[in-house]
Chain A
Amino acid sequence: MHVLYMVLIDPFVQMVSAPDLFIQTIWEGLVAGVLYALIALGFVLIFKASGVFNFAQGMMVVFAGLTLIAFQDMGLPAIVALAASIGVMYLLAFSIERVVLRPLVNQPDIILFMATFGITYLLIGFGEMIFGGEPKEVNTKAFWLPQGSIEFPVLGGFVQMQKIDIAAAIIAGLMIAALAFFFQKTRIGRALRAVADSHKAALSVGISLNQIWVIVWFAAGIVALVAGIMWGARSNVSFALQVVALKALPVLILGGFTSIPGAIIGGLIIGVGEKLGEFYWGPLMGGGIESWLAYFIALGFLLFRPQGLFGDKIIERI
């Protein structure tokens, strides 16, 4: 009886009795969720346009972040460092298309998936060689990102929000809106979706697969760069980050692999679910449930809605 009470009743009693703490927890969850969503967005972009799950996306976040820091450490002004990092991401997209994707056209998806493992380990080795293995911090002041926090009273308590988190949420929101619009309404966006649907039909209307792949990996690179900056501004950029980036996987299962809004909402649900779980139910299990709860939620989803919240339902004509 006591266990049932602790699991089913007590957490909710706590939520109601300390609403400010509850809201604070949800905010923390949303903040983590925005970052998950940004990382998941990179996955969705590449998956939509090529049907490939890009295992290297997490590593691309780390790589982009470290590149930017390296340019800043060289003493370049923020804008120049940012432009140079974008240049590096373009170069990366270009070489991945040339060296990895082009020779593998028309191969089964699983081959391309394995190739992205290769890219991951290449980036790890290459990154450690250039940047060294130790964690580094992004110089946020140079990017006009606000610092400090604001507090405001809520229901007899206080909720504290880091300004950087608010900025991150706004930037992520803008970026997502821009991407969704680009995909939906422009010729290149249409070509991206066309390639995702059918390679041979896309080729027959004169869409260049090579060009599309460069664009989409470049876009994923820019998303990775933004995620890297946002993450780096809160804590450090280190190679350990790429494990955290795998949280994007449950986010994608929740949101659907092909849906940009799905990536956002999935990210937020996972973020909030994780923090609430950790804060209210965690102590019952000795804490640390944050690291696996997301996967647990995803597993539940797979049972009932395998295409995710917003994913394309797969209809096969038989």
Chain B
Amino acid sequence: MDASVQTKTHNLAKGDTLLAVDNVSLSFGGVKAITDVSFDIKKGEIRAIIGPNGAGKTSMLNVINGFYHPQQGRITFKGETRQKMRPYVAASQGIARTFQNVALFKGMTTLDNIMAGRTLKMNTGFFWQLWRHGPAMREEVEHRHIVEEIIDFLEIQAIRKTPVGKLPYGLQKRVELGRALAMEPELLLLDEPMAGMNLEEKEDMSRFIIDVNTQYGTTIALIEHDISVVMDLSDRVVVLEYGRKIADGTPNQVKNDQTVIDAYLGVPH
């Protein structure tokens, strides 16, 4: 791996703050998506972001990886504070993500999709690429090894050459996870990784998430609606409602928090 990109990371030990979001507010015209939210993600943990529909969870992920630029607040990643992220910076600094409604390269095969995740790790220039032999070829082979490892890890060998548009939804989600893993991220953002899955698929996905976290030490932030999954997987949970943070703590703390219960079940008037 490229040493210069990674130097900063090694200074962070497990439990240090990897990412901090401070007083972030985001609005679209008159609509306030996020209002003054602060929380942090510690290195090595699985951090869940939950909340009812429209609470601003996905907006929060979009702020973290630079798709949305908040009007107020700061984002600190690996000790570097920014007013806003840019997608390219986020990707090159080690933030990978998946999307709520699977965003794969539909016309491309599983293999090519995951290889696309290696884009930033590959750096032969344009003219070597034109020639393809020599450095570009060597590089292609080398990265193919890593991609094959990911394919083995996710148990998707059989669909290696299938165009992903043809795959069932559950497998598409898995390929998307593979593409994110190919970036060797430090922070992996998962937007509803289990939406629309059956019980078996959910169990598989939970297992992959835990394995990624323990084997590779990847920090994970995930949005999920299935509360039992969230309680099992995550170390800490932040709860959003109407764009505001209403609770933050361990799954048990959050579960017994009256505001959270009210937010999910409604308050009698």
Contacts and interface: CB of A to CB of B under 8 A. Distances in A.
A315 B96 contact: no
Nearest to B165: A315
Interface in A174-200: 181-182, 185-191, 193-194, 196-198, 200
A215 interface: yes
Interface stretch (A76-84, A204-212, A280-288): A204-212
B192 to A, nearest CB: 15
Contact of A204 (B65, B124, B139): B65
A193 B136 contact: no
B91 A206 contact: yes
A206 B119 contact: yes
A203 B91 CA distance: 8
A206 B86 CA distance: 10
A223 to B, nearest CB: 14
B188 to A, nearest CB: 11
A312 interface: yes
B122 interface: yes
Contacts of B140: 185-187
A167 interface: no
Given A201-B104, A201-B105, A207 B129 contact: no
Given A203-B67, A204-B91, A208-B88, A188 B99 contact: no
Given A187-B119, A312-B107, A182 B129 contact: yes
Contacts of B124: 187
Interface in B110-158: 112, 115-120, 122, 124, 126, 129-130, 132, 136, 139-140
A181 B140 CA distance: 14
A206 B88 contact: yes
Contact of A200 (B88, B99, B116): B99
A205 B129 contact: no
A199 B19 CA distance: 25
Q: Give the most central of A189, A198, A201, A205: most B CB within 10 Å.
A: A205
Contact of A206 (B104, B108, B183): B183
B108 A197 contact: yes
B107 A193 contact: yes
Interface string B71-106: 000000000000000011001100011010001111
A227 to B, nearest CB: 20
A201 B179 CA distance: 10
A198 B97 CA distance: 14
B111 to A, nearest CB: 10
Contact of A194 (B99, B105, B180): B105
Nearest to A182: B130
B96 A204 contact: yes
A206 B103 contact: no
Q: Give the most central of B67, B105, B129, B179: most A CB within 10 Å.
A: B105
A187 B137 CA distance: 10
Contact of B103 (A181, A186, A198, A207): A198
B88 A205 contact: no
Contact of B119 (A197, A207, A315): A207
B120 to A, nearest CB: 4
Given A190-B108, A193-B107, A201 B129 contact: no
A201 B97 CA distance: 9
Given A197-B107, A206-B183, A186 B132 contact: yes
B87 A185 contact: no
Given A187-B119, A189-B129, A200-B67, 17 more contacts: A181-B132, A186-B132, A187-B118, A187-B129, A188-B126, A188-B129, A196-B107, A197-B107, A200-B99, A201-B179, A203-B87, A205-B116, A205-B119, A205-B179, A205-B180, A206-B120, A315-B165
29 contacts: A182-B130, A187-B124, A187-B129, A188-B129, A189-B129, A190-B112, A190-B119, A191-B119, A193-B108, A194-B105, A197-B106, A197-B108, A198-B104, A203-B67, A203-B88, A204-B65, A204-B99, A204-B103, A204-B180, A205-B91, A205-B96, A205-B116, A206-B91, A206-B119, A206-B183, A207-B116, A208-B88, A258-B107, A315-B165
Closest 4 CB pairs of A and B: A206-B91, A201-B103, A197-B105, A203-B87
